[in-house]
């Protein structure tokens, strides 16, 4: 009851909310669907991405999972505090706790503590940050991405076409990883694509 009460209080105070369902492809092959939810309430935020694999993908032992990032918003910057990945039963698969320039990762029972850039963000927080920056009218020169295994720095470029916006993030210094995010005129994310060494790695397109 306590958790439900806190959740209801959070939802009632939300100032920004985006929710959408996407078709997902991995390495060029259909993999199922995903639901993305972004909620911001004054100085707090929560972003979740839930994957629903199709029958073919499930044959390879890949099950549905949900990633959730929570953190605080300070002077226009999204600072992650926790990142959790669970399966459909709620079992914890992977987690990260952020504390300024330190990240404590837990994966398959093993715990590691690594130093990070104070402005570093997990992938879901980075989506929220870029959406916020577009709303404010300017992207940051660089974005620091914290992944399960490493840290990466990306430069950002914005282009406009027919009232829509395309953000291209290019990894420094090798440029072998590129992330593209497409936004409509209302700054709603309708497509995200990741390319690795010139090949498609991940693609999600909003369902019509």
Backbone angles phi, psi at 10, to 5 degrees: -65, -45
Q: Which residue has the tokens 């985006």?
A: 18
Q: Which residue has the tokens 């914890």?
A: 92
13: pLDDT strictly greater than 70: no
CB 142 within 8 A of CB 155: yes
Task: Report whether CATH 1.10.3130 matches the domain 2-206.
Answer: no
In the prediction, which pLDDT does 23 show?
Answer: 96
Radius of gyration (C-alpha) of the chain in whole angstroms:
17
Task: Return d(Cα 169, Cα 161) in angstroms, integer.
Answer: 17
Q: Tens digits of per-residue pLDDT, 128-149?
A: 999 999 999 999 999 999 988 8
Closest CA to 139 of 165, 114, 113: 165
Task: Return d(Cα 206, Cα 86) in angstroms, integer.
Answer: 23
Domain ranges in the chain are: 2-206
Closest CA to 154 of 139, 132, 138, 164: 139
Q: Tens digits of per-residue pLDDT, 180-207?
A: 999 999 999 999 999 999 899 999 999 9
Question: 158 or 175: whose pLDDT is higher?
Answer: 158
Q: Tens digits of per-residue pLDDT, 79-124?
A: 999 999 999 888 999 999 999 899 999 988 889 999 999 999 999 9
Q: Tens digits of per-residue pLDDT, 24-68?
A: 999 988 999 999 999 988 899 999 999 998 988 787 777 889 999
């Amino acid at each position: 009851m306590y958790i439900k009460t806190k959740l209801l209080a959070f939802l009632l105070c939300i100032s920004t909310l985006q929710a959408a369902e996407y078709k997902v492809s991995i390495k060029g092959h259909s993999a199922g669907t995903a639901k993305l939810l972004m909620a911001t309430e004054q100085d707090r935020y929560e972003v979740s991405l839930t994957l629903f694999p199709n029958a073919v993908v499930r044959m390879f032992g890949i099950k549905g999972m949900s990633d959730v990032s929570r953190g605080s918003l300070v002077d226009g910057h999204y600072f992650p505090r926790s990142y959790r990945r669970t399966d459909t039963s709620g079992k914890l698969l992977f987690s990260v706790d952020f504390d300024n320039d330190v990240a404590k990762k837990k994966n398959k029972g093993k715990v590691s503590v690594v130093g990070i850039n104070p402005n570093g963000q997990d992938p879901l927080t980075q989506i929220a940050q870029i959406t916020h920056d577009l709303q404010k009218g300017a992207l940051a020169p660089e974005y620091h991405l914290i992944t399960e295994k490493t840290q990466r720095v990306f430069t950002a470029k914005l282009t406009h076409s027919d009232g829509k916006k395309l953000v291209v993030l290019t990894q420094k210094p090798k440029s072998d990883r590129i992330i593209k995010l497409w936004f409509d005129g209302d700054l709603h994310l309708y497509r995200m694509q990741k390319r690795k060494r010139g090949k498609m790695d991940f693609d999600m397109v909003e369902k019509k």
